């Protein structure tokens, strides 16, 4: 099971912030930013009184899941639709689909997931699905979206299933399973333990197997999970899910190696600094150890700044601006 920390890919457009999670980048040697049919999972935050003007999507299947706030959608086909904790929307963009998104000044802040799924083929017929969803039962997975023709409430034209769950503290449940399907999950809020690892809000996991996997909530938590066929036929022509400016895998592999090296280097020098500082505090006058501590202190500060810079890395830094 592979763990991913909170994404470093963030786009802040002033009142509209997107945290972009790339499932494929969780692998030690990524070859694709997505994993099979799942291109990306975007946690979006929109302030009240904001408008994302009319824009086009092509060749993306987009699931809009809104547990906090209200998202107001408008398009030329279905008109005005409202998505909240009781309603779901799936936009099967196909060859072309235009829409806008909005919050009113009187609306609460919006926090949602926009899930970009790769369809099985390019330039399919555009469609829009919107409707109520069953009330969430505590500690029970809700199966909200599945492949077309399999009888789920909503569908995508790809080999992927989407679930959500709200767990009480201390409750342990099994993740959904299907033969031949991998599992990807995202912690929307709370804190959980999976395979002896703790996952906090905004962290994610990828299980490259259909073996059983359990999750236990350390606090009240909300999760989403995806079962996907990693070998499914898909098209990678989505205008967002496979945006042309997403960095190629070779650049991401180099970046991840550098980040791992920086992390090890930072911790090595921070330990040496504190050992040297403890030594120097017990002696009077300048010593060799104090001189070394000063040099190490400078290195420590530099790496602290590097850590701060990394935490602020945005899409524009890595070349991805939708």
The pTM (predicted TM-score) of the whole model is: 0.82
Residue 81 confidence (pLDDT): 97
Q: Are residues 223 and 300 in the same domain?
A: no
Would 119 be classed as within a structural domain? yes
Cα dist. 102→77, 110, 129, 178 in Å?
17, 10, 18, 37
14 with 78, same domain: the answer is yes
Residues of the chain with pLDDT under 70: 267-322
Residue 240 is predicted with a pLDDT of 96
286 and 178 within one domain: no
CA atoms within 13 A on the CB side of 117: 34
Q: How distant is the alpha carbon of residue 197 from its chain centre?
A: 18
On whether residue 304 sits in a domain, the answer given is: yes
Q: What are phi and psi of 40, to 5 degrees?
A: -165, 160
My answer on whether 117 and 235 are in the same domain is yes
Give the domain CATH number at 206.
2.60.120.10
Q: Can you give the length of the chain in residues?
A: 322
Phi then psi for 303, rounded to 5 degrees? -70, -30
Per the structure block, which two tokens stand in for 313? 């890395």
Q: What is the pLDDT, as a whole number, of residue 195?
A: 97
Assign residue 237 a region (left: φ > 0; alpha: ψ between -120 and 50; beta: otherwise). Answer: alpha
Geometric angle at alpha carbon 136, from 134 and 140, rounded to 5°:
115
Per-residue pLDDT at 147: 99
pLDDT tens per residue across span 136-184: 999 999 999 999 999 999 999 999 999 999 999 999 999 999 999 999 9
- Residue 238 and residue 261 in one domain: no
User: Which residues constitute the domain of residue 294?
Assistant: 252-311
Q: Are residues 141 and 102 in the same domain?
A: yes
Helix (H) or strand (E) run with residue 252 in it = helix 249-280
Q: How many CB atoms lie within 10 A of CB 133?
A: 16
Q: Which of 196, 230, 246 is the last residue of a domain?
A: 246
When divided into structural domains, the chain yields a total of 2
């Amino acid at each position: 099971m592979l763990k991913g920390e909170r994404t470093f890919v963030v786009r802040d457009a002033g009142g509209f912030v997107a945290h972009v999670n790339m499932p494929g980048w969780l692998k030690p040697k990524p070859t694709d930013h997505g994993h099979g049919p799942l291109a990306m999972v975007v946690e979006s935050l929109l302030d009240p009184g904001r408008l994302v003007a009319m824009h086009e999507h092509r060749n993306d299947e987009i699931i809009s899941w809104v547990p906090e706030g209200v998202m107001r959608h408008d398009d030329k086909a279905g008109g005005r639709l409202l998505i909240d904790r009781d309603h779901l929307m799936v936009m099967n963009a196909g060859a072309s689909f235009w829409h806008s998104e909005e919050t009113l000044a009187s609306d609460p802040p919006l926090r949602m997931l926009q899930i970009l799924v790769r369809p099985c083929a390019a330039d399919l017929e555009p469609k829009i699905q919107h409707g109520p969803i069953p009330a969430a039962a505590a500690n029970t997975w809700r199966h909200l979206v599945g492949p077309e023709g399999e009888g789920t409430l909503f569908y995508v034209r790809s080999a992927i299933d989407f679930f959500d769950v709200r767990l009480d503290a201390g409750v342990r449940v099994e993740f959904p399973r299907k033969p031949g399907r991998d599992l990807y999950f995202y912690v929307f809020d709370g804190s959980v333990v999976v395979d002896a690892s703790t996952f906090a809000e905004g962290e994610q996991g990828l299980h490259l197997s259909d073996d059983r996997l359990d999750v236990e909530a350390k606090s009240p938590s909300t999760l989403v999970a995806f079962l996907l066929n990693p070998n499914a036929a898909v098209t990678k022509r989505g205008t967002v899910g496979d945006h042309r400016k997403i960095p190629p895998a070779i650049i991401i592999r180099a970046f991840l190696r550098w980040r791992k090296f920086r992390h090890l280097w930072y911790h090595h020098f921070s330990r040496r600094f504190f050992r040297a500082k403890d030594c120097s505090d017990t002696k009077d006058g300048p010593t060799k150890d104090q001189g070394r501590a000063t040099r190490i202190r400078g290195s420590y500060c530099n790496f602290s700044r590097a850590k701060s810079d990394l935490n602020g890395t945005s899409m524009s830094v890595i070349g991805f601006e939708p």
